[in-house]
Structure 1
Amino acid sequence: MSLTEQYLLDAHRALHHGEPVPPAPGTHDLRVLRALREHRRFRAVLAGRPARGRIRHALGRWLHPDPRATGRPRPRATGRPRLR
């Protein structure tokens, strides 16, 4: 049984029993995702980690490592385009 068929069956039963109709599938998806995001931020603060920008910061460190930390010399800007 699909999600839509189950919803229609539940709505039909609710109408016959005089109960409120359940919300349609997907009605509260954004609210749940926002609550999950806020909960994760809250847990990060309790653990002593930054609440925002953790993934972007980690990717930035991985994609653009500090040349001083690796011991590699920084490439010089020559002003001419590089040939490929």
Structure 2
Amino acid sequence: MTLEFGHQLAATWLEIHPGASASQVVEFLEEQSLRARVAAVEVYVATGKTSEEEALALLEYEGRSYRDLMRKELSTGGLNLPPSGAR
């Protein structure tokens, strides 16, 4: 679902900004990612599960791990996704 949301977000942004460069699209997605991380930290802190510093460290670690996983999958020929139409 996250991949679908990211795709739709980028596609819709490009419809609104048809002359945008790839770096502008990436910048927009980075801004949205930052907003989502800030919201996640606020939720973690508000629920009393962690301190702000712990939440930030956890999200940073998860982000690096996720990016490393994506880099590995893309370098070996693509993401390991189920076939189209599979549930």
Name the TM tier (shorter chain). 0.3 to 0.5
The structure with the largest helix share of the pair is: 2
- Scaled by the length of structure 1, the TM-score of the pair is 0.34
Looking at CA atoms only, which structure, 1 or 2, has the larger radius of gyration? 1
- Scaled by the length of structure 2, the TM-score of the pair is 0.33
